[in-house]
Structures are given as C-alpha cells and as structure tokens.
C-alpha cells in the first residue's frame, strides 16, 4: 500500500506541472506505478501458490498416491491464474 500511496502522490505532483509535459509525466508515473503493483501482486500470489502446493503435498499424500494432490493443485492454480488475469 505504501508504494501505491507514494506513486499517487508522485502522479499528483507531476500533474500540477504546466502544459503538456505535466500530463505526459503524470501518465508515465501512473502507468509505471500500476505495472509495479500488478507485478508485485502476481508475484505474491505465485509465492502463495507454491506454499499451498507444499502444504497440499504434505497433507494429501495418501499411501504414496499423488492423484489427489494433482487435482487440488490444478484447481488452486486455475483460481490464482484467474485472479491474476483480472488484476486490472
């Protein structure tokens, strides 16, 4: 959240500049800040997915059968992929 707040403040300061340069700088600042937040959100979700896969591997391993684990991890992967694709 701190990155988002700082980028909003920087965008506002850039937009206060006179003329077309102010608009251009404000757009570039906002665009870069959105990219940073999007990438960090997806990276965080991939770390969570990895941790969930490790937990599922440990919990759902029934007599060496990996079939149940594959089903659960594929469902979790699809859900997180959907969430990451709808960030913006």
**Residues composing the chain:** 88
Q: Is the pTM of this model over 0.85?
A: no
Long-range CB contacts (< 8 A, 24+ apart) of 70-79?
76/49, 76/52, 77/49
- pLDDT, one tens digit per residue, over 46-79 is 888 888 877 777 776 655 555 555 666 677 677 6
Owning domain of residue 81:
2-85
Q: Based on the structure, what is the number of domains in the chain?
A: 1
Give me 8's structure tokens.
């909003």
Q: What is the C-alpha separation between 15 and 21, in angstroms, rounded?
A: 9
- pLDDT, one tens digit per residue, over 30-45 is 888 888 888 888 888 8
Q: What is the C-alpha separation between 14 and 8, in angstroms, rounded?
A: 10
Q: What is the C-alpha separation between 42 and 34, in angstroms, rounded?
A: 12
């Amino acid at each position: 959240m701190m990155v988002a707040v700082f980028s909003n403040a920087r965008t506002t300061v850039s937009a206060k500049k006179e003329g077309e340069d102010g608009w251009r700088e404000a757009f570039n600042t906002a665009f870069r800040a959105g990219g940073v937040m999007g990438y960090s959100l997806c990276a965080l979700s991939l770390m969570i997915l990895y941790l969930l896969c490790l937990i599922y591997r440990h919990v759902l391993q029934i007599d060496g059968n990996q079939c149940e684990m594959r089903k659960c991890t594929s469902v979790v992967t699809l859900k997180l992929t959907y969430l990451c694709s709808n960030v913006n």
